[in-house]
Structure 1
């Protein structure tokens, strides 16, 4: 060291030069470390990309393993129709559409019998002979169309014929023979009458043949579909034909969706249900009821008019930037019922895990499932075709038929503190019905942490017996802080003893309720406190 100093003094170097040299060496070493870190990050990024590619490949292979194309299911049906033509001397052509549509492998065998029954039923009951068709102005050759399409979380299989349609008069005659009075029949709608064809033993044929009259077939169709959680609907027009629409669940849990926003509502729609994303570069788009798409006028649905909630709710704020940040229309539906849905912006188009909504209450029309965002928030999955059909049939209806909350309570937020999740849910339901916004805390310490961290509420409903920090502790913690001294805190507890009541009031409680409580008394007291 002394030698270095003498060397520096001899050649005119000072301690500052030595320190500077050491700093330069440290900077060079830091640059080398930074380069190593950058190289490591590049390798990590490449590894993540390889992992994502492997995951997508595995997902594709799983899909291929679980699913089969619709063509495998309908492979024997053309020969079936040819044999029926030769046996019964009719001219029927079988048309198959959507052969590449994927169907769950476990459902292929179950769907075989229902589709075969529907084809034979259409051939026997719906299709007229060539002479009758010519007299009716139809081509001599009839057509039965089989079509499959994946829509949202469902697979739709359509069996359509251009025959004579379902004769409801024959069904009514059969119902009379079964003992149903004319008065009861008169009260039935056409769909209710047609639905009787699915009853066991029901047939409108006067004679028994290989194709009809035995009273079996259609009931087998409905029973088989119910086993796989499917259903069937019938549309029939006299002298034009009959359409059977089968819906079976699309059991894969991974689905590509479009995460979209309309008037502050955030929801997802299956990407495979959207025909086209159409720009809406016009003024007054919120007042439009129809648009022109491919030289065709289609109705324009505004989701906020159908998906309308009456209860107060927090704004759903998204992070990041939308991929499309201008008004657009999603073109959805089939050729017979096309429509457009107005959207303000599109946030992303991710592949997500679909989560079923298990509830004893029926889901609102259009909402079929749910998905979860990365931050844990749940977003409804909406079938846009179903939403459009309901809108066209019934017009816009609010999906939450609760009474409109008063403007006085709309902005009020209440914090419910209880270690019992059932109590929290019940109290929350009571408050939300009255028009309040509700936050929840699982115990006293959780409540204090949320309030100290910046949660703004207008009142607190708090239990006493809780882990970590009880209700008395909540009062002591909050009432010693100046910002919470005027915050009304009502105690809701199973302790009905007067000494507990006095202790809570002495600590600063604004009200005291014993469980079980009176809802009206609680709401009235809360209203007066606020």
Structure 2
């Protein structure tokens, strides 16, 4: 719950702004409706003044956490900033909209003043007639101002075919009949995303709206691209509802969950019918009827309206067909696999025979051991226990007639037979046993040698079988480009060229790669080649063809698959990207300006960041490039961006060619921890003296094969590293990563093993350096390390800002905060005070300037731009004009993210530039850099640029 003192300050300020806003709207309406003439739009100056008030309301409400009040104020601000030139009924509708939005703002503020929240403000506004009138006005005069309609477009009856179930089902089946090759790869993708939606809905308490939104967005985009508009239109409505859920404007309550579940079932049924299956209908409810009813239901929910009392029609329960992906394998390849399987069976039979020989030798050794034990026992009884022997002899003598024994011995002597005493008998027995053991040893040696040879032969056979089986799971790259070519044929302003159709790619990788390529093509069409659609003559003047060119190239080398999607458009608008990133709070203006072009280009991979002017079906939501980055990272790859102004942009997807069974090199990392590297990524193992490792710009490097490669120490990831012995060499694994060769430092080298690798679970999948898991020969679980992930992690260590560290870093520093908003001053002051700063405040530029020149020691100034008496620009000029304050750091904090606002601020001497609502981690990180506070352990924060 918010602090009462801060809440009261906000309400007081908001009430003052609201009174001025209402007065300004009334004056605008009176100005536009004067006399008997048709109504006209009010004067530009009046709209600018009211827009400023709406801007202040939006910024204050957003900073304090009242997002719906801020959004509604932002809508009013955009309507006023458009400055439309309207007359007649259009002007009257425009003025009425201004009055209704002003009234809705007043109602929301009253609710807050009464102790409530703005949670239902958007719903209340959506239930009014204002959104529909706004949509009608924008549709009627699209050139007056450009903005997105408030409600999702209702299905056009003219777009539908015959209303019966046969019409929809026939169209779905006709699509599959005409596009069999496309359907073979489109259907599994949709089924995968439908399964993801169903999984989230099965766990409503932990459902992730972002995951569901992305799945619906991908289904929509893929359906439109392959030409299945029925599925695309329905998924668009589903996406709108999930977008509202994601932005917290619609609650994920029972009606929403019911509609979402029905929508997922309908998507599943539409795919089932298209594939030739049948859905059991419930009475008179047809598939077309379910589609219309659910589309309307989704539209009402997305607009914040209450659901219709009637239940959403659903299909009767049925057994659903499993969505199993299939791969076509040539018969000749299957015959080869069967031949190898026969060889494996023969090898197993030979191993069984060798094991039977070992079992036979085990029985012989047991018999020999028993004979040896009897001989030793007899010898012990005669010589180690003589009393027992004499007793036995006496007993025998008593039982034998006198002289019988001596007569028999004399008879042997007369016959000149050899006499054997006990020592002779023992010696002869041991000799016989030695001969037996020698024979068993020879047979054992021969058998073990045979086992070793058979094991090596079986290993070669398994490796060959593994290679051929992997080849069986590979399909031509052309199977993914077929749908892309069809999509390109429907784009009048571009042509598509594909190279590398014959490159074989693992089926699982190709299916997961299709979605990112679709997003990249959409990005090229709506951003890179927008000029080709709007100004083809301008391209001709640059020496380019009037039609935009898009290229897709696929190649495989050094165990990596490389897919390039390039266009010959205007390249990335890096200034526009930096401006949008500033508005999103990714970084300050100085940080963004200091970024190199390559780093700035990667800002487009951040979720929600888009440079599109308007939001439409295929662009503007900031989802596409985010999906591409996440998909490539999930495949263990990396996305590289190359852009040149006026030449074009290329996106390179570099992916490892994964295998389920592979040879790995195990290594020791920590005292008790071990890991492994895929052998096909290891180039060399070297013991390098510490003196050969040099620091370049603070990062360790070592020379390998004539070039300097970065060194990543993997040992600290598994706990503290003990001090190495003086003069000890560094154990380095030189591995091929997606970013090039790197050297990974480990504690010790191990041996090579053939293992089965499993992908990490979703929980472990967040670890960037983990490519998979395997079980070594000792039974220990080994993490399979990704060299590129280790390099990314080393470049971005986890050093998040902690309260204790921040407080220690800010101690002894005094800041001046200048802002005309009481709530902003109090909220930002608390941020800075938690970090240990002493904060002085001023309510406008004049008061701030007086404090600066009063002799009070200040380390930095943070100022707003729009303030009464003296604005932020005037304050900047006054501070820089006097020698005693000319070097004082001045940071601008405003809701204005436009380039012209930034340029003016920096031309007047601003040190840095932020947008509201300011990110606490970002603000403290910049203060650390500006004030040189080593104690402020600020981290990149959630807005850091993806690696």
TM-score, L = length of structure 1: 0.50
Structure with the largest fraction of helix: 2
